[in-house]
Every structure is written in structure tokens, then in C-alpha cells.
Amino acid sequence: MGNRNKKGVHDEPADLIGEPEASRFDNLKTLAYGGIIAVAALTMSLNDFAKTWTLPSRPMETAFFVARVILFMELAILAVRWILATHNEMEMWRRSLHNPLSNTQIHAGMFSLSVVLGVAVAFPHKIGFISGFLTVYFLVDYWTGWLADDHFERALRRTRAKPMSNIKRDELKVMEYYWLKRPQLARVTTMMFFASLSFSLALAGLVLQEPQQEAQRHRFQLAAYAVLILDVFIGETVITWWRRKRDQDIMLIRSKK
């Protein structure tokens, strides 16, 4: 029995490529959250962020107040979830693929994301700025996502060229489906379109400065808030479902081990 177990261990290909570095990656995640807080605090001190929490005195002000609070809460939750998801997915790549992203690329990606999220959280009261900012972010995200997918595909080919267990092979199929076969870039493009629509509505409201145009200006700006809030909510709901399905499939495969 003992010899048979020893033989089985030697015959089974090694599935874990990168050694676990939980503490280093957890420190990186903590630094990213700290970066979001620092960037947000600095930006809030310069952009009249306190006006977000000014209690309304008129019905129209109430509508804007509610929209700003909802958007702020949405962006704050998004910041937490995006850092956590990015951290987990970079760790998954590092442990499962040959030639994953380098440490420099990982650090740069987490730092850039923390700056973007810190700025976004600080501008729920400036619908023109935040909608334009997110439109540009989604454009950049599209191209960085395309580059990441290309890198993933090449790393996947290298990994599959090495001996591996059937369980590892099935896990790689799940990862491939999530990164290369789900419409990831279509999702980002859709979010960019609706963020740009929100920006257009906000811009239309900004150019209406005459006193008699106030009601129309408010309608444009509230519509911009509604479009952006729904855009972020639906986009995040979709990617959350995809991640959940990926993780469930991987856990199911591992449970058969």
C-alpha cells in the first residue's frame, strides 16, 4: 500500500505552478485599498465633496441628493469588489499558468486601479465629470482587457504543453471559457456606450444655463444619473454572475479529486 501511494504521487503531474504567497498578495490588496482611501480623501478635499451630503430643501434637490448618495454607495462598493476580484484573479493566474503577469505588471495594475477608483468615489456630485471619467476608463479597460486576454491565451498554450492532471486540465477549460469565450470586451463596450450616453445627457444639461431652462437642465442631469447608476449596477451584476459561475465550476472540479 505504501509503495503504491508513493508511486501515485510521482506519477501525478504537479498542478500548482506558483507557490502560495498569500501574505504578499494580501499586503498588495491592503495597499490598494489604502491607495483608494488616500486618493479619495485628497480629491474630496479639493472638489466640494461635502455638498454631496447637504440636506435638500426642495423636491428637485431631494432627487439630486438621492441620486448622488446612490451613486456614491455604488462606486464605494464597486471599489471594494474590483480590488478583491483583481487580487483573486491575478493570484489565480500566478498559481495556474506558466508565464503569468510579472510582479511589476501586477503592482502597476493594482496601483492604477486604486487611483481610478479613488478618483471615481470622490465625484458622485459632479455627474458631468464622473460620467466622462468612467467613459474614458472603460475605453482604457477595453484595450488593457484585450492585451490581458492575448497574454492569457499565450500563457494557456504554454501551460497546456506541460504534463498535468485531468483535474488541472478541466480547471484550465473553465478559466479559458471565462476569459476568452465570455463576451468580456462586449460587456465593457456596452458599459462605455451607456457611460458616454450619461455624459452626453449631463453635457446637454450643463449648456442650459438660462433661468427659464432650469427645469429642462435638471431633467437632463437626473437622466444622466439614472443611466450611469443602471450602467454600473447591471455591468457589475453580469460580471459577478460570471465570476460566481467560474468559481463554482472550479470548486466542483476540485471536489472530485
* CA torsion through residues 163, 164, 166, 171, sign: negative
Q: Is residue 13 part of a domain?
A: no
Band (100; pLDDT cuts 50, 70, 90)? low
Q: Is residue 34 part of a domain?
A: yes
Query: What rounded mean pLDDT belongs to the chain?
Result: 85
Q: Is residue 6 part of a domain?
A: no
C-alpha triplet 168, 174, 176: angle, nearest 5°: 100
Q: What is the DSSP letter of 27?
A: H
Closest by alpha carbon to 74, among 216, 227, 202? 227
Q: Is residue 11 part of a domain?
A: no
Domain count of the chain? 1
Which residue range(s) make up the domain with 51? 21-255
- Lookup result for grid cell 504534463: 163
How far is 78 from 182, CA to CA, in rounded Å? Answer: 21
Three-class secondary structure of residue 183 per DSSP? coil
The residues, any chain, with a CB within 8 Å of residue 56's CB and separated by 6 or more, are: 62, 64, 65
Q: Which of 24-38, 65-79, 141-155, 190-204 is predicted with the least confidence, judged by mean pLDDT?
A: 24-38
Q: What is the DSSP letter of 192?
A: H
Q: Is residue 29 part of a domain?
A: yes
Q: Is residue 10 part of a domain?
A: no
pTM over 0.75: yes
Q: Which of 45-49, 71-75, 231-235 is predicted with the least confidence, judged by mean pLDDT?
A: 45-49
pLDDT value at 243 more than 90: yes
Residue 195 and residue 225 in contact, taking contact as beta carbons nearer than 8 Å: no
Please give the average per-residue pLDDT across 59-80, as a whole number. Answer: 91
Band (78; pLDDT cuts 50, 70, 90)? very high
Q: Is residue 5 part of a domain?
A: no
pLDDT value at 87 more than 60: yes
CB neighbours (10 Å) of residue 11? 9
Q: Is residue 85 part of a domain?
A: yes
C-alpha cell belonging to residue 222? 437626473
How far is 93 from 100, CA to CA, in rounded Å? Answer: 6
